[in-house]
């Protein structure tokens, strides 16, 4: 049994000592079987949230009405969820109400895909009612029960299916695939935030190429923000190994560039990204457009900053079919280090110096002149010292 499960065993044992059933469930069981890195260890139990609370000294209520409590043990967090079903789906979205049930089997039955619907007991024995193990071996994502029913209950599952294709490098079973084709339009009922979370995982997974192709082929793209008219570009995009990019912002930058989106900020606002992300990505796009036509100069690098430049370089390499090498990265860093200044604050000559030197009143002319000085320093046309800058201003009749 993996270390992650061993560490969580005391939680299962304590529940069992008090007469409740308790199992490891969901993603951790799947990932252990696949030999992948285990993220969160989730537990399903017959104990209700109140019963869970009474058994452990440190718990956090993150949704007891849905049956979920966090148990903290040795600094690690475990979600313990009461066996439940999700009845009465409204509007093809996850229900707001759940019903607690007494059996593990019913709990596993409400889960989305067979590979996500396995449990493991404290001995390490896998409980697999829906052929999850067989499907894991075949590397196939297939719904628990009728795909049509399951996607009608919660349309987000269609994106989740493609997300697992990407993350696990699986394929979709034939009936799951054809059901997504038929039901894609139900995604219009799903909130943008939930779509964005899944789509980011689709772009990031090792199987992103196959998954992005599925987004195009199944018609799912039509129900994602601002992508309705982009099928051809989307297919082109799916030929790029997006997962080789390391940051989310890099992937959005590549997406926008390849899809030839003209209004970056508007596009990202529709996807409800944070202002900070929008700002970073918009800046990346600006410098990427420069970079595809010319090499980094000191001034360009000064204006972009190192983080943006590295991201732009990674994206440029990707769209040209390359990968940014460590050498390429080091070269760019070295060029950045070699800049005489990295921001205006490092300039040895400021507004006060300027006023002392001239007899003019403060005004917008100052900002313009400081900008000129800044660029002259960056481009090695003048030393970053008060004296040298004064000399330059005088000799160029700038003052
Ligand atoms: P990851 O490793 O990326 O977190 P995961 O399988 O743990 O993958 P989660 O979104 O964390 O995915 O969900 C945990 C489990 O809850 C899933 O494995 C699945 O059994 C169940 N689940 C999550 N979302 C849904 C859903 N929309 N419909 C049905 N079951 C779901
Ligand atoms: Mg998870």
**pLDDT of the residue at 85:** 82
| Mean pLDDT, residues 189-194 taken together | 96
Question: Quick check: CB of 268 below 6 Å from ligand 1?
Answer: no
Q: How many CB atoms lie within 10 A of CB 22?
A: 25
pLDDT exceeds cutoff 80 at 354: yes
SS in 3 state form for the chain? CCHHHHHHHHHHHHHHHCCCCEEEECHHHHHHHCCCCCCCCEEEECCCHHHHHHHCCCEEEEEHHHCEEEEEECCEEEEEEECEECCCCECCECCCCCEECCCHHHHHHCCCEHHHCCEECCCCCEECCCCHHHHHHHCEECECCCHHHHHHHCCHHHHHHHHHHHHHCCEECHHHHHHHHHHHHHHHHCCHHHHHHHHHHHHHCCCHHHHHHHHHHCCHHHHCCCCCCCHHHHHHHCCCCHHHCCCHHHHHHHHHHHCCCCCHHHHHHHCCCCHHHHHHHHHHHHHHHHHCCCCCCHHHHHHHCHHHHHHHHHHHHHHCCCCCCHHHHHHHHHHHHCCCCCCHHHCCCCHHHHHHHCCCCCCHHHHHHHHHHHHHHHCCCCCCCHHHHHHHHHHCCCC
| Mean pLDDT, residues 318-344 taken together | 94
**pLDDT of the residue at 358:** 86
pLDDT exceeds cutoff 60 at 44: yes
| C-alpha 112 to ligand 1 mean position (Å) | 7
pLDDT exceeds cutoff 90 at 97: no
- From the CA of 116, the nearest ligand is 1
Q: Please give the residue that has the higher pLDDT: either 43 or 230.
A: 43
- State what percent of residues in the chain have pLDDT above 90: 83
Mean pLDDT of the chain: 94
Question: Quick check: CB of 36 below 6 Å from ligand 1?
Answer: no
Q: Please give the residue that has the higher pLDDT: either 239 or 306.
A: 306
Q: Please give the residue that has the higher pLDDT: either 213 or 357.
A: 213
- Is the pTM above the cut of 0.85? yes
pLDDT exceeds cutoff 90 at 294: yes
| Tokens standing for residue 253 | 């930058």
**pLDDT of the residue at 231:** 87
Question: Quick check: CB of 147 below 6 Å from ligand 1?
Answer: no
| Tokens standing for residue 172 | 């979709």
At 363-387, the pLDDT tens digits run: 999 999 999 999 999 999 999 999 9
**pLDDT of the residue at 100:** 67
| Tokens standing for residue 99 | 């019903």
Ligand 1: which residue has its CA nearest to atom 10?
27
| Nearest atom, ligand 1, residue 153 CA | 28
pLDDT band of 199, cuts 50, 70, 90: very high
Q: Please give the residue that has the higher pLDDT: either 310 or 97.
A: 310
Ligand 1: which residue has its CA nearest to atom 25?
112
**pLDDT of the residue at 232:** 86
**Backbone dihedral region for residue 207 (phi beyond 0: left; psi -120 to 50: alpha; all else: beta):** alpha
| CA separation, residue 222 to residues 185, 215, 217, 228, 231 (Å) | 8, 9, 10, 4, 8
| Mean pLDDT, residues 132-155 taken together | 97
**pLDDT of the residue at 384:** 95
| Mean pLDDT, residues 26-50 taken together | 96
pLDDT exceeds cutoff 80 at 154: yes
**pLDDT of the residue at 239:** 86
| C-alpha 303 to ligand 1 mean position (Å) | 43
- From the CA of 44, the nearest ligand is 1
pLDDT exceeds cutoff 60 at 88: no
| Mean pLDDT, residues 96-105 taken together | 76
pLDDT exceeds cutoff 90 at 396: no
pLDDT band of 95, cuts 50, 70, 90: low
| C-alpha 42 to ligand 2 mean position (Å) | 8
At 225-254, the pLDDT tens digits run: 999 988 888 888 888 999 899 999 999 999
């Amino acid at each position: 049994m993996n270390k992650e499960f061993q560490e969580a065993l005391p939680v299962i044992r304590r529940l069992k000592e008090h007469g409740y059933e308790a199992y490891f469930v969901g993603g951790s069981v799947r990932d252990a079987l696949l030999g992948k890195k285990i993220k969160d260890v989730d537990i399903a139990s017959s104990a209700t949230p109140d019963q869970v609370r009474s058994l452990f000294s440190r718990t956090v209520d993150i949704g007891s009405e849905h049956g979920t409590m966090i148990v903290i043990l040795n600094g690690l967090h475990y979600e313990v969820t009461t066996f439940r079903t999700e009845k009465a789906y409204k509007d093809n979205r996850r229900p707001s109400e759940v019903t607690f049930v007494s059996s593990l089997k019913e709990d596993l039955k409400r889960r989305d895909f067979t590979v996500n619907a396995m449990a493991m007991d404290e001995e390490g024995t896998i409980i697999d009612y829906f052929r999850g193990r067989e499907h894991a071996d075949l590397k196939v994502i297939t719904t628990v029960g009728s795909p049509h029913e399951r996607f009608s209950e919660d349309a987000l599952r269609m994106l989740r299916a493609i997300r697992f294709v990407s993350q696990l490098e699986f394929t979709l079973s034939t009936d799951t695939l054809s059901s997504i084709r038929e039901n894609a339009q139900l995604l219009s009922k799903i909130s943008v935030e939930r779509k964005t979370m899944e789509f980011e995982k689709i772009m990031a997974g090792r199987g992103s190429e196959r998954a992005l192709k599925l987004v195009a082929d199944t018609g799912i793209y039509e129900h994602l923000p601002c992508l309705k008219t982009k099928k051809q570009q989307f297919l082109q995009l799916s030929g790029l190994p997006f997962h080789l990019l390391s940051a989310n912002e890099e992937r959005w930058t590549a997406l926008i560039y390849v899809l030839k989106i003209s209004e970056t900020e508007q596009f990202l606002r529709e996807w409800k990204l944070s202002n900070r992300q929008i700002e970073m990505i918009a800046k990346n796009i600006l410098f990427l457009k420069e970079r595809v036509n010319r090499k980094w100069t000191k001034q360009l690098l000064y204006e972009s900053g190192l983080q943006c430049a590295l991201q732009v370089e990674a994206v440029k390499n990707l769209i040209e079919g390359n990968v940014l090498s460590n050498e390429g990265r080091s070269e760019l860093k070295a060029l950045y280090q070699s800049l005489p200044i990295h921001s205006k604050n490092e300039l040895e000559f400021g507004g006060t110096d300027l006023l002392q030197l001239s007899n003019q009143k403060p005004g917008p002319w100052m900002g313009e002149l400081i900008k000129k000085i800044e660029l002259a320093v960056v481009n090695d046309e003048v030393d970053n010292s008060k004296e040298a800058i004064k000399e330059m201003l005088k000799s160029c009749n700038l003052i």
